Amino acid sequence: MNQGLRFTRDQNRKNLASWLLTTPALLWLLIFFLIPYLIVIIYSFLTPDIYDVNFEFSLDAYRQALGADYLKTFFLSFRLAVLTTLLCVLLGFPVAYYIARAKDKLKNTLLVFIIIPFWTNLIIRIFSWRIFLAYNGVLNDILIKAGVIGAPLEIMRTDLAVILVMVYVYLPYMILPLYSVLEKLDFTLLQAAMDLGANELKAFFRITLPLAAEGIFAGSLLVFIPALGAYLIPQLVGNQKSLYLGQVITYKIKNIPRNWPMASALSLILLFGVAVLLLLLFALYKRSKARRRV
Amino acid sequence: MKRINISQFYKGFNLTAFSLVMVFLYIPILILIIFSFNDAKIITGWRGFTTKYYLQLVENDAIKEAFRNTMLIAGLSTLISTIFGILTALGMENKRFSGRRIVSALIYIPLVIPDILMGVSLALLFNFTRVNTGMLTVLIAHITFCISYTVIVIQSRLEGFDYSLVEAAMDLGAKPATIFWKIKFPLMLPGIIAAALLAFTLSIDDFIITFFTSGRGFDTLPIYVEGTIRRGTITTINSLSTLMIGFTLFLVVITKRVRKVLISSL
């Protein structure tokens, strides 16, 4: 009895210590992460002013955001996110597989090669594609001098350029989680399957792919979600005729006349989309995990 | 016989894919470095060798100021978010902590939301509260997006912590403060360094959140570079970019220790 009491007192003291230690971060995130979203919600129901907002209730922002005007924007951003994720999986998988099956000494070196671009400043990498793809850029220069094409290709400022640079930037985000699951994969399973008569293709689809599903999920999240809100890449290599969601939101806040209620409504729709996606993926993941255990 | 052929095909396929992806990842960077020596004011083919844009870089006051701002923000936000990270990770060690779920949720949610939304929400917060945007608001924003990363990295290092060491020290009569500084902190240190490096890199690299929270007159390097590219004067950007790539290479390749920590932090 006495011992039990001391035990709970000790637990309480530890609990209090945990609260004290986590309070600084908790308060910080409350003030600078949660409360700002409340303001976004409030602003989405107000009316715009040239520089600011008027505190008059209105549903106009939602009516417009969900209307025909922004259908193309939502479609473009969704398509960009899907294509970028798919291409990253297709390109990233063989690379991750190759690194995971390399000799131990080589592995770290190969990983560093993947990580260097990843740690290089984003804007610089986007800028380098502008030099490469521009009308008077390096690619056209080389192709014309080699006699492959007569006139410069117009790749810069197209949706193709946007997808290309998106894949370039987000590929390491796919390769690293894929690598970490493939590295743990027991390759004797593949050998066993083939000894039992499965061919390589069958072994890949029945063993490697299901076991790598976790990495594909993680990588897809890391690519798909930021791609939905991409601003910088469409802004620097895309054209102003096809505006992506991130660009529209940014313009509504930065450009005059401002429309902060509109930016807020679009942001909340994006947030809602991400939440739905996450819940769906999570449910799917749980189900596949449960099925594997059976 | 046939099986061996397929097997070789797969190996060859993976190697080819790996090589192609390497070319894809590095060609733009190589081109950037080469063209920083190109004697041309606009984006164009090769026009001759020059180092004059590196000299212009040194004389450019706007770049120097942006560099100072970037380092100041990165240094301060790293320091503060790492302290938050250490405290939070220590608090979360207690598995029966009653606030565990709330803290976890607040730490993880920012990671799965597009960056731009944090930028928008902070921009609205500073507008609503009529705080003038500038250095302080950028610093607040950077600390906010770094906290999640520092907590998670430090926490993951604490998970494999060997408590028998602490118990042994307690049995030998060591005071809690001694135990912390002599045993726990040294063992936490690799995680703390990894967290700080991650925060520093994220801070230097950030464009979008800074874009929404910095006012006119407070530029970090990414903001300066983007503005310059948009205005079309690119001469110094090539050389500046090359120096920044050099900085990354220095961090990643030369310092082997840093490299190890970086890999394990991912």
pLDDT higher than 90, residue A185:
no
Closest CB from B10, B123, B229 relative to A127: B229
Is A205 domain-assigned?
yes
Predicted confidence band of residue B9 (pLDDT cuts 50, 70, 90): low
pLDDT at position A51: 86
pLDDT at position A85: 97
For A219-244, what is the mean pLDDT? 94
Residue A101 sits in the same domain as residue A16: no
A202-to-A194, A198, A207, A208, B16 alpha-carbon distances in Å: 9, 6, 8, 10, 22
pLDDT at position B260: 59
As a dihedral over the C-alpha atoms of residue A242, residue A244, residue A250, residue A256, rounded to 10 degrees, the angle is 20
Q: Which of B162, B120, B41, B190 is nearest to A37 (CA)?
A: B120
Distance, in Å, from the CA atom of B48 to the CA atom of B234, rounded to the nearest integer, reads: 16
Beta strands in chain B (DSSP E): none
For A134-149, what is the mean pLDDT? 87
Phi, psi torsion values for B38, nearest 5 degrees:
-80, 135
Is B23 domain-assigned?
no
Cα of B117 to nearest chain A Cα, Å: 6
For B47-62, what is the mean pLDDT? 86
For B160-177, what is the mean pLDDT? 84
Is B44 domain-assigned?
no
Residue A120 sits in the same domain as residue A246: yes
Of these ranges, A96-105, A200-209, A240-249, B240-249, the one predicted with the greatest mean pLDDT is A240-249
pLDDT at position A252: 96
Phi, psi torsion values for A23, nearest 5 degrees:
-55, -45
pLDDT at position B7: 63
Residue A35 sits in the same domain as residue A126: no
Residue type, B193: I
A87-to-A92, A223, B77, B220 alpha-carbon distances in Å: 8, 10, 35, 32
Contact: B121, A171; criterion CB under 8 Å: no
Where does A121-243 have alpha helices with state H?
A: 122-133, 138-145, 159-184, 187-195, 200-203, 209-228, 232-237
Closest CB from B18, B87, B123 relative to A24: B87
What would the pLDDT profile of A256-291 be if each residue is shown by its tens digit?
899 999 999 999 999 999 999 999 988 887 887 777
Cα of A85 to nearest chain B Cα, Å: 15
Host domain of residue A21: 1-40
- Cis amide leading into A257 (omega within 30): yes
Q: Is B50 on the interface with A (CB under 8 A)?
A: no
B108 to chain A: closest CA residue: A29
Is A269 domain-assigned?
no
Residue A22 sits in the same domain as residue A141: no
| Number of folded domains that form chain B | 1
Cα of A116 to nearest chain B Cα, Å: 7
Q: DSSP letters along A119-152, please?
A: HS-HHHHHHHHHHHHSTTSHHHHHHHHTTS-SS-
Average pLDDT for chain B? 86
As a dihedral over the C-alpha atoms of residue A247, residue A252, residue A256, residue A258, rounded to 10 degrees, the angle is -170
Phi, psi torsion values for A154, nearest 5 degrees:
-100, 85
Distance, in Å, from the CA atom of B25 to the CA atom of B93, rounded to the nearest integer, reads: 40
pLDDT at position B236: 81
Predicted confidence band of residue B8 (pLDDT cuts 50, 70, 90): low
DSSP, collapsed to helix, strand or coil, labels residue A48 as strand
Contact: B229, A123; criterion CB under 8 Å: yes
Is A120 domain-assigned?
yes
What would the pLDDT profile of A246-263 be if each residue is shown by its tens digit?
999 999 999 989 999 999
Contact: B21, A36; criterion CB under 8 Å: no
Predicted confidence band of residue B3 (pLDDT cuts 50, 70, 90): very low
Is B3 domain-assigned?
no
Predicted confidence band of residue A2 (pLDDT cuts 50, 70, 90): low
pLDDT at position B254: 54
Rg for chain A, CA atoms, rounded: 25
Phi, psi torsion values for A47, nearest 5 degrees:
-105, 145
Contact: B262, A250; criterion CB under 8 Å: no
- What's the token pair of residue A169? 């930037």
| C-alpha angle B199-B147-A19 in degrees, rounded to nearest 5 | 145
Contact: B28, A98; criterion CB under 8 Å: no
pLDDT at position A3: 61
Residue A91 sits in the same domain as residue A25: no
pLDDT at position B249: 77
| Number of folded domains that form chain A | 2
Q: Is B254 on the interface with A (CB under 8 A)?
A: no
pLDDT at position B47: 79
For B47-61, what is the mean pLDDT? 85
Taking a contact as any Cβ pair under 8 Å apart, which residues of chain B between 159 and 198 contact chain A?
none
Contact: B226, A232; criterion CB under 8 Å: yes
Distance, in Å, from the CA atom of A199 to the CA atom of A190, rounded to the nearest integer, reads: 10
Is A272 domain-assigned?
no
For A57-75, what is the mean pLDDT? 94
Cα of B239 to nearest chain A Cα, Å: 11
B50-to-B38, B46, B117, B225, B244 alpha-carbon distances in Å: 6, 11, 42, 21, 19
Contact yes or no for B208/A249 (Cβ under 8 A): no
Predicted confidence band of residue A203 (pLDDT cuts 50, 70, 90): confident
Is A266 domain-assigned?
no
Residue A133 sits in the same domain as residue A83: yes
For A153-173, what is the mean pLDDT? 94
Is B22 domain-assigned?
no
Sign of the torsion angle spanned by Cα atoms A18, A22, A24, A28: negative
Is A237 domain-assigned?
yes
pLDDT higher than 90, residue B109:
yes
What would the pLDDT profile of B179-226 be if each residue is shown by its tens digit?
888 888 888 888 898 899 889 989 999 999 999 999 888 999 999 999
Cβ contacts of B59 within 8 Å, gap of 6 or more? none
pLDDT at position B2: 43
Contact: B15, A98; criterion CB under 8 Å: yes
DSSP, collapsed to helix, strand or coil, labels residue A54 as strand
B103 to chain A: closest CA residue: A26
B254 to chain A: closest CA residue: A112
Closest CB from B29, B42, B91 relative to A128: B29
Host domain of residue B159: 57-265
Is A68 domain-assigned?
no
Taking a contact as any Cβ pair under 8 Å apart, which residues of chain B between 99 and 158 contact chain A?
99-100, 102-103, 106-107, 109-110, 112-118, 120-125, 127-128, 140-141, 143-144, 147, 151
Is A208 domain-assigned?
yes
Is B40 domain-assigned?
no
Distance, in Å, from the CA atom of A248 to the CA atom of A270, rounded to the nearest integer, reads: 12
pLDDT higher than 60, residue B258:
no
Which residues of chain B does A94 touch, with a Cβ-Cβ cutoff of 8 Å?
A: 13-14, 17-18
pLDDT higher than 70, residue B253:
no
CATH of residue B225? 1.10.3720.10
Residue A29 sits in the same domain as residue A135: no
pLDDT > 90 fraction of chain B, expressed in percent and rounded: 46
- Residue at token pair 């499965």: A198
ipTM summary value: 0.90
Which residues of chain A does B212 touch, with a Cβ-Cβ cutoff of 8 Å?
A: 250, 253
